Amino acid sequence: MFRPANFIEASIQNINRSLLIGGVLVIAVLFFFLANLRSALIAIAAIPVSLLAGVIVLEWFGASLNTMTLGGFAISIGVVVDDAIIGLENVWRRLRENRTCEHPKSFFSVVLDATLEVRSPIVYATFIVGAVFWPVLMMSGVNGRLFAPLGVAFILATLASLVVAITLTPALCFLLLARAKANEPHYICWLKHQHHRCLEAVSQRPKTVVGATLAICVAAVAGLPYFGGEFLPEFKEGHYIIRMVTAPGTSNQASVRLGTAITHELLKNPRIRSVAQQIGRAEQGEDTIGPEFSEFHVELSPLAGEDGRVKNEIRAALEKFPGGTFAVTTFIEERIEEIISGGRGEVVINLFGNDLRVLDQKVEEVRQLVATISGARDVVLEAQSGSPEVTIKLRPDRLKQFGFQPVDVIEAVKTAYQGTVVAQVYDSNRVSGVTVILDPVSRRDPETIGSLFISNAAGTRLPLRELAEVSYTAGRYVFVHEGTLRRQQVTCDVEGRDVASFAAEVKRKIRSQVALPPGVFVAYGGTAEAQNEALQELLLHSTVAAVVIVLLLSIVFANSRNMLLVLVNVPFALAGGVLAAFLSGGSLSIGSLVGFVSLFGISMRNSILMISHYEDLVAQDRMKWGLDAAVRGATERLLPILMTALVVALGLLPIAVGSAEAGDEIEGPMAIVILGGLVTSTVLNLLVLPTLALRYGKFEKPACEGQRLRPNLD
């Protein structure tokens, strides 16, 4: 009736498919740009070696391969080949230049020098990518359990790709490229020519470029507050749990009759495969829930992204059954909500106080208010009063008149309706208790309680109604305490709008429309609060990561101007991520926020390589800094920038496209944000960054200044 493994198996299958498709697309890009079988094989070799190295390390530390670790590898599939591409492309470029020299170097020297030339920026760029994932690794709670494995897998694969790029890739270049032709295909030459023309045109309008860049970045930052927010997207489990709460005191038989009618109604939907009802909880169980509470497990037929549609159809069917309160959720979502706030709902409102009557009055006002807010669904009051009770109040005057002790009367009632063990029977090594209790027929009828005969020590027998007042009242079936205070709780789900704006409206309206008396206060929980906490964590740890990145960049570059040119990439990448998030629904989840963090490290790599190459042209090739040097450096970095951006983008494309499928719900928003940011950051690196470097960069040192070499790892 309910097998959580179905979702796990479907998730792993989908993420494996994304890995495979992404790998095929990456290989196709490499063959297109490198136009050489041996070169493509050298770059492709970095993918399986890096991923397998990451798997080996995970296995070494006892970690498992799950949807999150596999998602980390899927996101890194384009990144792991970047370092190899950069080194390989530089080897090709130096080979072509060497063949036109009057005194060509040996093949070994060319490969070695070309590898050492890009080794330092590759190493530091990889370290920066690792530093960017520090906030992801430091997330706590549910966020940490979900995203930390993804971050670990990504970092392991990226570090392994660095080792491959400075060891295996140059070795393969030396073995396979000695006799290879270093000629560029005609379409690559045409592409470089078009880039050269565009770059010259853009460079003539530096003020326009700077103004447009600032406008785009400001618009992106200004648009962030208008985005909706959600903690996690809905998981496509193919299974729903319906919580039904009826009036307190509802019997098992009544719950079965109502549940049977609901089951028949739900099974009319061809998309629903089976329905199972669970009524109440066992007496010795962890939860104290009576038969007025039921859970329906609704198993769906195999669907293709139609879970949301079925959820609406289920709710429409439940509206035909008045008298009960219903909430529809998925299994994982319900477990996460309980872990986060202890309540079963996306928005949880807790009222604390000491007076139960006041709490009942105010919590009902809150429930009615929340139900009127746009987007509120499945509004449920946790602990309801009104459970039917039989109250027995002893009459001291009658007890004294007939010689009865109060404790004897209480024990007699307890024995009749709950039972008392009076002896034991031994059968071999088995011991069985003998219990005295009223017969089932008499216990089933509450009207007969007053007719129960009670005996005293003198042998006097009187019915219970002569010694006590027996009445039928309404009471509570549960008292909830938290932090030594009595608590009432309202929970609800959100549909048709983002959770963050809904929670903000709930807080605003409760403050303005619900007057809380002294001693009563409200506290909020749920996924919106968890998202705020996660955002604060990310911002705090991102500040630490930013300091580390600035320190690394200050080591790489000789002056602060060049370092700032690299950092310009951050707001430009942010603009693309914001645009992608807006086009995909305009809502930011924790996955989207992690995607922004990842994007800044991934996109910064090409900026580092571009500025580093400019420094090499001036320091090593003795070029005078100007338009010619800026255009030449950008043209020579065109292929590695395009290839690295495309392989990362196409590696993420299957996850972004399949974000609505099982297993890709968390990684999908990440991939969408990274894709959008890569587009704008690539445009920046190829067109805007050379223009900014030409105007604001500082690559030539004054003659009086001592020679300072950019650090390398010799």
Asked whether the predicted pLDDT for residue 493 surpasses 70, the reply is yes
Shared domain check, 143 and 35: yes
Asked whether the predicted pLDDT for residue 577 surpasses 80, the reply is yes
Mean pLDDT of 143-167: 84
Q: Which residue has the tokens 């009960």?
A: 324
Output the pLDDT for position 386. 66
Asked if 10 contacts 663 with a C-beta cutoff of 8 angstroms, the reply is: yes
- Domain-located, residue 436: yes
- Residue 282's Cβ-count burial label (10 Å; 0-12, 13-18, 19+) is exposed
Name the residue among 385, 379, 255, 250 with its Cα closest to residue 327: 379
pLDDT digits (tens, 9 = 90+) for 316-359: 888 888 877 888 888 877 777 777 666 677 788 888 888 888 88
Output the pLDDT for position 385. 64
Mean pLDDT of 73-85: 79
The confidence band for 711, taking pLDDT boundaries of 50, 70 and 90, is: very low
Domain boundary residue, one of 476, 497, 514: 476
- Domain-located, residue 399: yes
pLDDT digits (tens, 9 = 90+) for 589-627: 777 888 887 788 777 877 888 888 788 787 777 778 888
Shared domain check, 159 and 19: yes
Q: Which domain holds residue 657?
A: 5-226+557-696
Asked whether the predicted pLDDT for residue 304 surpasses 60, the reply is no
Shared domain check, 118 and 144: yes
Higher pLDDT pick, 324 / 511: 511
- Domain-located, residue 36: yes
Q: What average pLDDT is seen over the chain?
A: 81
Q: Which residue has the tokens 């039921």?
A: 294
pLDDT digits (tens, 9 = 90+) for 370-407: 888 888 888 887 766 667 788 889 999 988 888 888 99
Output the pLDDT for position 710. 47
Beta-bridge mates of residue 587: 228
Output the pLDDT for position 704. 44
Output the pLDDT for position 384. 65
Mean pLDDT of 27-35: 81
Domain boundary residue, one of 476, 503, 529: 476
- Domain-located, residue 418: yes
DSSP string covering 200-261: HHHHT-HHHHHHHHHHHHHHHHHHGGGSEE-SSPPP--SEEEEEEE--TT--HHHHHHHHHH
Domain boundary residue, one of 476, 500, 532: 476
> For the domain that residue 658 is a member of, what is the CATH number?
1.20.1640.10
Output the pLDDT for position 285. 66
Shared domain check, 274 and 200: no
Neighbours of 100 (CB within 10 A): 7
Give percent above pLDDT 90 in the chain.
1
Residues 6+ apart with CB under 8 A from 254: 246, 291
**Amino acid sitting at position 580:** A
- Domain-located, residue 511: no
> For the domain that residue 458 is a member of, what is the CATH number?
3.30.2090.10
Mean pLDDT of 671-698: 83
For the chain, the 3-state helix, strand and coil shares in percent, each to the nearest 5, are 60, 15, 25
Shared domain check, 105 and 216: yes
> For the domain that residue 284 is a member of, what is the CATH number?
3.30.70.1430
Shared domain check, 28 and 115: yes
Shared domain check, 72 and 157: yes
Cα angle 625, 630, 634 (rounded to 5 degrees) comes to 150
Shared domain check, 569 and 638: yes
Asked whether the predicted pLDDT for residue 703 surpasses 70, the reply is no
pLDDT digits (tens, 9 = 90+) for 438-457: 888 777 777 788 888 888 88
Name the residue among 637, 634, 630 with its Cα closest to residue 699: 630
pLDDT digits (tens, 9 = 90+) for 642-656: 888 888 888 888 888
Asked if 379 contacts 493 with a C-beta cutoff of 8 angstroms, the reply is: no
Strand (E) or helix (H) holding 539: helix 527-556
Shared domain check, 688 and 596: yes
In total, how many domains does the chain have?
Answer: 3
Name the residue among 689, 605, 586 with its Cα closest to residue 165: 605
The token pair at 267 is 């099974």
Shared domain check, 160 and 47: yes
Shared domain check, 303 and 253: yes
- Domain-located, residue 679: yes
Shared domain check, 159 and 32: yes
Indicate the pTM of the whole model.
Answer: 0.75
Asked if 541 contacts 134 with a C-beta cutoff of 8 angstroms, the reply is: yes
- Domain-located, residue 411: yes
Higher pLDDT pick, 333 / 303: 333
Q: Is 632 helix (H, G, I), strand (E, B) or coil?
A: helix
3-state secondary structure 563-594: HHHHHCHHHHHHHHHHHHHHHCCCEECHHHHH
Output the pLDDT for position 709. 43
- Domain-located, residue 251: yes
